[in-house]
Structure 1
């Protein structure tokens, strides 16, 4: 083999160029660890055609009220939008402690998380200042233990579209990154009191296909002889890249959902989940930042290395 051929053989390949043209514009705020790129114009243009398919209403079981878009985000940009968001957002691997009886147990969140937004008692101005939603005055120092962050443009654009489609309003964006099939979230419901009664939650999936499992909550114990009822069947929704599920009505009060572990090459591709929701009171803000940002290090995607710790020395 010639020397030139040897050199080219051992020379590391250049990183793949994205199929989209990035914009130099960025969302900046003092609470962001680094500036966050705005949505590429080609994405915004394609999203003007969203939803890509009409939503399918699923309400054939007790207390279940879903609208399933397969997909919502056009397939022409879904893969690139996944890569763009994975590279652009700050993520966290949150650890926290809970009490089990008298024993403190440390929980390691089995996925990467991040969150933006603030509850309905406050809002951000166009300049990023946090003000009281009623009076319009600056929020008093110390009102929040956490540091609320405005939703960056790349996610806020999708929030606005989702509000137009669903007829709902949202003030929070939670993002989960499942790096592989080991990352998961156990059965739970988003029925916290700070979301108010019958909350609507829009949940997007980008990247690897993962099963979204749902099952009805067990009935409350009763001494009376229950009337015979047909037991609701568990539901499996195979979420593909660009799909969206809108959960509304009595769903959160009566159903549990999860993303279980999965083996195989598909799950190793990574998956991003974006959820929009509306927190009504301050407790919602404190909860979301505690469990989705916490006090640990920032992680950022690096092509060829995966998620790596980020420090302010790394710059933009």
Structure 2
């Protein structure tokens, strides 16, 4: 990781920004870590509540965080909290992310495993209060590349814009093996993101989403 990594930056406007490092991790190391993550993480596929209905989450998950942080809850589900020392390779990946993003201080990690193209994550934003008003969220991908979509939250004014103007409100990234995508500023307030179903996406994808949880005293 000593070489300077190439990065592309997408200015979404109004204080929102996305940064993408296509070749964040060396390929051989990425494959080793994929194998470890696939076999060594205590994955679970929980039941969640969406629009009042109970359903099985369409991907496996695991949650890691520093001790003493507020508990994470989403869609009626509260994951078991694992500590960093249980999974030393995750600490190595976290170190690499911190080196790539000077000033970042991530203390929690949500892992997701997509077994194939039928696993997905629906449109949402990571705007929980425990992340603060302008969270920096770093997403590292391993395995099968998948499409990552962004779209602007609909507003009253956006409904009267011309079709040409609306094209700027949707973006797509192909998240490759060993890549890093970072959402910054007001992205979670003003934008939604998803990883849609793709029948052609054969093979497992594992995604590590690093975040900073504010302590109860903040």
What is the TM-score with the length of structure 1 in the denominator? 0.58
Higher relative contact order (CA 8 A, sep 6+): 2
CA distance 1:50–1:117, shift in 2 (3 Å): farther
Query: RMSD over aligned Cα, in angstroms?
Result: 2.6
Aligned equivalents of 2:27 and 2:79: distance in 1?
37
Alpha carbons 1:68, 1:244 under 8 Å: kept: yes
Structure 2 residue 58 is matched with structure 1 residue 110? yes
Cα contact 1:118–1:279 (8 A) shared by 2: no
User: Offset of 1:66 from its aligned partner?
Assistant: 1.1
8 A Cα contact 1:50 1:74, kept in partner? no
User: Structure 2: how far apart are the matches of 1:98 and 1:235?
Assistant: 25
Specify whether residues 215 and 227 from structure 1 end up closer, same or farther in structure 2 by C-alpha distance, changes over 3 A only: closer
Long gaps (5+) in structure 1: 1-47, 124-144, 283-316
Distance 2:51 2:169 in 1: 33
Give the deviation of 1:275 after TM superposition: 0.7
Q: C-alpha offsets along residues 97-148 of structure 1, whole Å, 9 cap, x if unaligned?
A: 4563xxxx212100000011047xx27xxxxxxxxxxxxxxxxxxxxx9753
Alpha-carbon deviations, 1:208-263, whole Å to 9, x = none?
010001001111x48xxx89994433111011101110111111111111000001
Distance 1:89 1:165, change over 3 A: same
| Equivalent residue runs for 1:44-123 within 5 Å | 48-49=1-2, 53-59=5-11, 61-97=13-49, 100=52, 105-118=53-66, 122=68
Q: How many pairs align?
A: 202
Structure 1 position 250 matched with structure 2 position 186: yes
Q: Structure 2: where are the runs of 5+ without partners?
A: 70-77
Superposed CA offset, 1:23-78 (max 9, x none): xxxxxxxxxxxxxxxxxxxxxxxxx4376x32211115454301100110112322
Q: 1:1-316 residue pairs with structure 2 within 5 A? A: 48-49=1-2, 53-59=5-11, 61-97=13-49, 100=52, 105-118=53-66, 122=68, 148-151=81-84, 152-166=87-101, 167-219=103-155, 221=156, 230-231=165-166, 232-264=168-200, 267-281=201-215
The residue number in structure 2 matching 1:292 is none
